[in-house]
Amino acid sequence: MTPSHFVVQLHDATTLHFDFRLQAGDVLRSWAVPKGPSLDPQVRRLAVPVEDHALSAGDFEGVHEGHRRGSGAVIIWDEGTAEIVRDEPGHVSFVLHGHKLRGGFALTRTGERRWILIKVRDDDARPGSDIVTECPASVRSGKTWQQLAAGLPPGRCSAAGGLAARACVVKHERAGIVGVPGQGQLAG
């Protein structure tokens, strides 16, 4: 397995979308995922390939100037290390070690500029969960994109920054400890 880095940014542009970026050497391979990743292996999320980005793009959290629609806000929704398991034309599978996303995932091309992102069935899968709704805030600042766009501080629960994200991780781990495999729930 090849060690790598991944980042998922939530970007309020013309439409709100997630940018899934996976390091390949000195660039970030990138897909726009309108609905964001899921930990439910039954969920298939559309992932539209976009141009490679510089590694520095994956470090950006802030508000883009000069955008035409949307607030331009970008939060780092998740990030961490990735191990590339398979990398073939039209298919890449990998194991993520993020704050929210963990375990095996795969991206597979299903058509012209059309891929799907799925969670592999493993101990980190959370059938029935909705990680995007349950853990909306930045793993860096603890802010939602709306708080960032409005110049507001993070929510009270995350005043120290990132606490909201960490609380999500704690729930996640508890779910793994107490959950029946295949029935783990993030919601408390």
Residues of the shown chain interacting with Mn ion in the complex, contacts defined by CB under 5 A: 11, 19
Q: 62: burial class by Cβ within 10 Å (0-12, 13-18, 19+)?
A: exposed
Q: Which is nearer to Mn ion, 9 or 158 (CB)?
A: 9
Paired with 28 in beta bridges are 23, 53
Q: Which is nearer to Mn ion, 36 or 41 (CB)?
A: 36
Least distance between Mn ion and beta carbon 46 (Å) = 14
Least distance between Mn ion and beta carbon 40 (Å) = 23
Least distance between Mn ion and beta carbon 78 (Å) = 15
Q: Which is nearer to Mn ion, 8 or 125 (CB)?
A: 8
Least distance between Mn ion and beta carbon 43 (Å) = 21
Least distance between Mn ion and beta carbon 19 (Å) = 4
Q: Which is nearer to Mn ion, 11 or 100 (CB)?
A: 11
Read off the amino acid at residue 96.
Answer: L
Q: Which is nearer to Mn ion, 65 or 88 (CB)?
A: 65
